[in-house]
Amino acid sequence: MKKIERAKAFLQDHMDLFQCPICKESFNKIEGNSLECSQGHSLNISKKGTVHFLTKTMSNDYTADMLSPRYRIAQAGLFNEMLEAVYPHIDATTGTTIDIGSGEGSQLNYLSQLGLKGKQIGFDISKDAISLAAAHFDNAFWCVADLAQSPFASEQYDTLLNIFSPSNYKEFHRMLKSNGKCLKIVPEEEYLIELRSLLYRDREDKQAYSNDKVVAKFREHFDDTQTDTIKYTFPLTLENYHDLIEMTPLSWGASPESIDYARSHPLKEITIHVRLLVGRKNQI
Protein backbone atom coordinates (compact mmCIF):
# COMPACT_ATOMS: atom_id res chain seq x y z
CA MET A 1 0.00 0.00 0.00
CA LYS A 2 1.30 3.46 -0.90
CA LYS A 3 2.15 5.79 1.97
CA ILE A 4 -0.62 8.23 1.06
CA GLU A 5 -3.21 5.44 0.98
CA ARG A 6 -2.01 4.13 4.34
CA ALA A 7 -2.30 7.63 5.82
CA LYS A 8 -5.77 8.14 4.39
CA ALA A 9 -6.90 4.81 5.85
CA PHE A 10 -5.48 5.74 9.27
CA LEU A 11 -7.18 9.14 9.24
CA GLN A 12 -10.47 7.68 8.03
CA ASP A 13 -10.48 5.16 10.87
CA HIS A 14 -9.21 7.53 13.57
CA MET A 15 -10.61 11.00 12.89
CA ASP A 16 -11.62 11.13 16.57
CA LEU A 17 -7.93 11.61 17.46
CA PHE A 18 -7.74 14.95 15.68
CA GLN A 19 -9.28 18.42 15.63
CA CYS A 20 -8.98 21.22 13.12
CA PRO A 21 -6.07 23.49 14.18
CA ILE A 22 -7.92 26.48 12.71
CA CYS A 23 -11.38 26.23 14.29
CA LYS A 24 -10.98 23.32 16.76
CA GLU A 25 -13.95 21.51 15.24
CA SER A 26 -13.76 17.83 14.37
CA PHE A 27 -12.69 16.45 11.01
CA ASN A 28 -15.51 14.65 9.26
CA LYS A 29 -14.33 13.45 5.86
CA ILE A 30 -11.51 12.82 3.42
CA GLU A 31 -12.14 14.36 0.04
CA GLY A 32 -9.61 13.23 -2.56
CA ASN A 33 -6.25 13.77 -0.87
CA SER A 34 -7.55 16.32 1.64
CA LEU A 35 -8.70 16.06 5.24
CA GLU A 36 -11.73 18.30 5.84
CA CYS A 37 -13.36 19.58 9.02
CA SER A 38 -17.03 20.31 9.67
CA GLN A 39 -16.42 24.00 8.97
CA GLY A 40 -14.92 23.34 5.55
CA HIS A 41 -11.24 23.83 6.36
CA SER A 42 -9.09 21.53 4.24
CA LEU A 43 -5.59 20.13 4.81
CA ASN A 44 -3.55 18.28 2.22
CA ILE A 45 -2.37 14.70 2.74
CA SER A 46 1.05 14.51 1.11
CA LYS A 47 2.37 11.72 -1.10
CA LYS A 48 4.66 10.83 1.80
CA GLY A 49 1.57 10.11 3.91
CA THR A 50 2.03 13.12 6.18
CA VAL A 51 -0.18 16.09 7.05
CA HIS A 52 1.11 19.61 7.62
CA PHE A 53 -1.10 20.95 10.42
CA LEU A 54 0.79 24.21 11.04
CA THR A 55 -1.34 27.30 10.51
CA LYS A 56 1.66 29.59 10.04
CA THR A 57 5.27 29.35 8.97
CA MET A 58 7.58 28.48 11.86
CA SER A 59 11.36 28.58 11.79
CA ASN A 60 13.47 26.07 13.70
CA ASP A 61 17.05 24.86 13.78
CA TYR A 62 16.23 21.18 13.28
CA THR A 63 17.21 20.70 9.63
CA ALA A 64 18.04 17.59 7.62
CA ASP A 65 21.76 18.33 8.13
CA MET A 66 21.25 17.81 11.87
CA LEU A 67 18.52 15.18 11.77
CA SER A 68 20.19 12.75 9.37
CA PRO A 69 23.17 12.26 11.73
CA ARG A 70 20.69 11.88 14.59
CA TYR A 71 18.90 9.15 12.67
CA ARG A 72 22.16 7.32 11.99
CA ILE A 73 23.39 7.38 15.57
CA ALA A 74 19.96 6.44 16.87
CA GLN A 75 19.99 3.42 14.56
CA ALA A 76 23.42 2.58 15.98
CA GLY A 77 21.73 2.29 19.39
CA LEU A 78 22.63 5.48 21.25
CA PHE A 79 19.22 5.79 22.91
CA ASN A 80 18.19 2.12 23.03
CA GLU A 81 19.02 1.50 26.68
CA MET A 82 17.16 4.67 27.65
CA LEU A 83 14.06 3.60 25.69
CA GLU A 84 14.24 0.10 27.16
CA ALA A 85 13.90 1.76 30.57
CA VAL A 86 10.97 3.88 29.36
CA TYR A 87 8.96 1.05 27.80
CA PRO A 88 7.88 -0.75 31.03
CA HIS A 89 6.20 2.48 32.19
CA ILE A 90 3.80 2.41 29.23
CA ASP A 91 0.69 0.75 30.67
CA ALA A 92 -1.51 0.95 27.57
CA THR A 93 0.80 -0.79 25.09
CA THR A 94 -2.17 -1.40 22.78
CA GLY A 95 -3.72 2.02 23.34
CA THR A 96 -3.10 5.38 21.68
CA THR A 97 0.42 6.82 21.96
CA ILE A 98 1.64 10.19 20.72
CA ASP A 99 5.30 11.23 20.55
CA ILE A 100 5.50 14.99 21.16
CA GLY A 101 8.52 16.39 19.35
CA SER A 102 9.21 13.06 17.68
CA GLY A 103 12.16 14.29 15.60
CA GLU A 104 13.04 11.86 12.84
CA GLY A 105 11.00 9.06 14.38
CA SER A 106 13.66 6.71 15.74
CA GLN A 107 12.43 6.77 19.34
CA LEU A 108 8.82 5.85 18.61
CA ASN A 109 9.97 3.23 16.12
CA TYR A 110 12.27 1.55 18.65
CA LEU A 111 9.46 1.43 21.22
CA SER A 112 7.41 -0.36 18.56
CA GLN A 113 10.23 -2.86 18.17
CA LEU A 114 10.09 -3.41 21.94
CA GLY A 115 6.40 -4.29 21.72
CA LEU A 116 4.41 -1.05 21.58
CA LYS A 117 1.29 -1.56 19.50
CA GLY A 118 -1.98 0.29 19.05
CA LYS A 119 -2.42 3.66 17.39
CA GLN A 120 0.81 5.68 17.19
CA ILE A 121 1.29 9.31 16.15
CA GLY A 122 4.55 11.21 15.93
CA PHE A 123 4.73 14.95 15.33
CA ASP A 124 7.27 17.73 15.22
CA ILE A 125 7.38 21.38 14.16
CA SER A 126 10.28 20.48 11.86
CA LYS A 127 9.12 19.52 8.37
CA ASP A 128 12.53 17.95 7.71
CA ALA A 129 12.13 15.74 10.78
CA ILE A 130 8.74 14.44 9.68
CA SER A 131 9.93 13.89 6.12
CA LEU A 132 12.72 11.67 7.46
CA ALA A 133 10.36 9.83 9.82
CA ALA A 134 7.90 9.12 7.01
CA ALA A 135 10.70 7.97 4.71
CA HIS A 136 12.13 5.49 7.21
CA PHE A 137 9.27 4.25 9.40
CA ASP A 138 5.73 3.05 8.82
CA ASN A 139 4.81 2.14 12.40
CA ALA A 140 3.12 5.52 13.03
CA PHE A 141 1.20 8.35 11.44
CA TRP A 142 3.61 11.30 11.09
CA CYS A 143 2.61 14.95 10.94
CA VAL A 144 3.98 18.48 11.22
CA ALA A 145 2.24 20.23 14.10
CA ASP A 146 2.53 22.59 17.04
CA LEU A 147 0.65 22.30 20.33
CA ALA A 148 0.07 26.06 20.31
CA GLN A 149 -2.35 25.41 17.42
CA SER A 150 -3.12 21.85 18.37
CA PRO A 151 -4.62 19.44 15.84
CA PHE A 152 -5.10 16.75 18.49
CA ALA A 153 -8.48 16.03 20.06
CA SER A 154 -9.26 16.16 23.77
CA GLU A 155 -9.04 13.13 26.07
CA GLN A 156 -8.10 10.65 23.34
CA TYR A 157 -4.53 9.68 24.28
CA ASP A 158 -3.38 6.97 26.70
CA THR A 159 0.33 7.84 26.61
CA LEU A 160 2.20 11.06 25.83
CA LEU A 161 5.91 10.74 25.13
CA ASN A 162 7.88 13.96 25.69
CA ILE A 163 11.52 13.05 25.09
CA PHE A 164 14.07 15.89 25.02
CA SER A 165 11.26 18.25 23.98
CA PRO A 166 9.52 21.33 25.43
CA SER A 167 6.30 20.84 27.37
CA ASN A 168 2.85 22.36 27.19
CA TYR A 169 1.14 21.01 30.30
CA LYS A 170 -2.23 22.61 29.63
CA GLU A 171 -2.34 20.76 26.31
CA PHE A 172 -1.00 17.56 27.86
CA HIS A 173 -3.86 17.43 30.35
CA ARG A 174 -6.40 18.29 27.67
CA MET A 175 -5.18 15.52 25.37
CA LEU A 176 -4.76 12.77 27.97
CA LYS A 177 -7.52 10.34 28.78
CA SER A 178 -8.50 10.02 32.41
CA ASN A 179 -5.72 8.03 34.10
CA GLY A 180 -3.47 8.50 31.04
CA LYS A 181 0.29 8.87 31.42
CA CYS A 182 2.89 11.44 30.43
CA LEU A 183 6.45 10.13 30.14
CA LYS A 184 9.06 12.88 29.95
CA ILE A 185 12.83 12.52 29.50
CA VAL A 186 15.14 15.37 30.52
CA PRO A 187 18.96 15.44 30.44
CA GLU A 188 20.80 15.15 33.74
CA GLU A 189 24.10 16.75 34.73
CA GLU A 190 26.37 14.19 33.05
CA TYR A 191 24.43 13.90 29.78
CA LEU A 192 27.02 13.94 26.96
CA ILE A 193 29.49 15.30 29.50
CA GLU A 194 32.55 14.16 27.57
CA LEU A 195 31.48 16.11 24.49
CA ARG A 196 30.43 19.11 26.54
CA SER A 197 33.90 19.18 28.09
CA LEU A 198 35.47 19.33 24.61
CA LEU A 199 33.09 21.90 23.13
CA TYR A 200 33.22 24.19 26.16
CA ARG A 201 36.65 23.47 27.58
CA ASP A 202 37.24 27.23 27.86
CA ARG A 203 33.82 28.01 29.40
CA GLU A 204 33.25 26.54 32.85
CA ASP A 205 29.77 28.07 33.01
CA LYS A 206 28.69 25.78 30.17
CA GLN A 207 30.08 22.62 31.71
CA ALA A 208 27.60 22.52 34.60
CA TYR A 209 24.06 21.46 33.79
CA SER A 210 20.84 21.26 35.80
CA ASN A 211 17.23 20.57 34.90
CA ASP A 212 15.86 21.00 38.44
CA LYS A 213 13.47 23.76 37.34
CA VAL A 214 12.06 21.56 34.57
CA VAL A 215 11.53 18.69 37.04
CA ALA A 216 9.86 21.02 39.54
CA LYS A 217 7.49 22.31 36.83
CA PHE A 218 6.53 18.75 35.90
CA ARG A 219 5.75 17.99 39.56
CA GLU A 220 3.51 21.05 39.72
CA HIS A 221 1.32 19.60 36.98
CA PHE A 222 1.28 15.93 37.99
CA ASP A 223 0.51 15.24 41.65
CA ASP A 224 1.84 11.70 41.75
CA THR A 225 5.14 12.01 39.89
CA GLN A 226 7.53 9.07 39.73
CA THR A 227 11.16 9.57 38.70
CA ASP A 228 13.87 7.24 37.53
CA THR A 229 17.50 8.01 36.71
CA ILE A 230 18.93 6.31 33.63
CA LYS A 231 22.69 6.35 33.14
CA TYR A 232 25.02 4.37 30.88
CA THR A 233 27.94 4.80 28.51
CA PHE A 234 27.70 4.10 24.79
CA PRO A 235 30.77 3.08 22.75
CA LEU A 236 31.46 5.28 19.74
CA THR A 237 32.99 4.49 16.39
CA LEU A 238 34.61 7.41 14.57
CA GLU A 239 31.52 7.67 12.35
CA ASN A 240 29.25 7.66 15.42
CA TYR A 241 31.34 10.39 16.99
CA HIS A 242 31.09 12.73 14.03
CA ASP A 243 27.35 12.10 13.82
CA LEU A 244 27.09 12.94 17.53
CA ILE A 245 28.77 16.33 17.01
CA GLU A 246 26.49 17.12 14.07
CA MET A 247 23.25 16.08 15.76
CA THR A 248 23.49 17.69 19.19
CA PRO A 249 22.32 21.24 19.98
CA LEU A 250 25.41 21.45 22.22
CA SER A 251 27.31 22.49 19.11
CA TRP A 252 25.12 25.55 18.59
CA GLY A 253 26.71 27.53 21.40
CA ALA A 254 30.29 26.44 20.78
CA SER A 255 32.85 28.47 18.87
CA PRO A 256 34.08 27.23 15.47
CA GLU A 257 37.50 26.69 17.05
CA SER A 258 36.01 24.51 19.78
CA ILE A 259 34.04 22.46 17.26
CA ASP A 260 37.21 21.90 15.23
CA TYR A 261 39.04 20.90 18.40
CA ALA A 262 36.29 18.42 19.29
CA ARG A 263 36.35 16.94 15.78
CA SER A 264 40.09 16.38 16.02
CA HIS A 265 39.86 14.70 19.44
CA PRO A 266 37.37 11.84 18.90
CA LEU A 267 35.81 10.18 21.91
CA LYS A 268 35.65 6.43 22.39
CA GLU A 269 32.46 6.55 24.46
CA ILE A 270 29.75 8.96 25.56
CA THR A 271 27.60 9.15 28.69
CA ILE A 272 23.82 9.09 28.51
CA HIS A 273 22.46 10.43 31.80
CA VAL A 274 18.78 11.35 31.90
CA ARG A 275 15.85 11.50 34.24
CA LEU A 276 12.55 9.84 33.40
CA LEU A 277 9.51 11.65 34.81
CA VAL A 278 6.26 9.72 34.94
CA GLY A 279 3.02 11.58 35.59
CA ARG A 280 -0.54 10.28 35.55
CA LYS A 281 -3.65 12.34 34.88
CA ASN A 282 -6.07 12.06 37.75
CA GLN A 283 -9.13 9.94 37.12
CA ILE A 284 -12.30 11.96 36.59
Q: List, in order of start, the domains of the chain with CATH numbers.
A: 1-52 (no CATH), 62-189+212-229+273-280 (3.40.50.150)
Ligand-binding site membership of 79 (annotated):
yes
Higher pLDDT, 82 or 59: 82
Ligand-binding site membership of 104 (annotated):
yes
Q: How confident is the model at residue 253 (pLDDT cuts 50, 70, 90)?
A: confident
> What pLDDT score does 43 carry?
96
Average pLDDT across the chain, whole number: 93
- Rounded to an integer, the average pLDDT of 24-30 is 96
Ligand-binding site membership of 89 (annotated):
no
Ligand-binding site membership of 95 (annotated):
no
Ligand-binding site membership of 182 (annotated):
no
Ligand-binding site membership of 52 (annotated):
no
Return the minimum-mean-pLDDT range out of 7-16, 75-84, 135-144, 251-260.
251-260
Residue 153 pLDDT > 90 = yes
Considering only CA atoms, which of 158, 181, 153 is closest in space to residue 95?
158
Residue 61 pLDDT > 90 = no
Higher pLDDT, 236 or 256: 236
Return the minimum-mean-pLDDT range out of 23-27, 56-60, 112-116, 279-283.
56-60
Residue 44 pLDDT > 70 = yes
Residue 205 pLDDT > 70 = no
Ligand-binding site membership of 143 (annotated):
no
What's the whole-model pTM score?
0.94
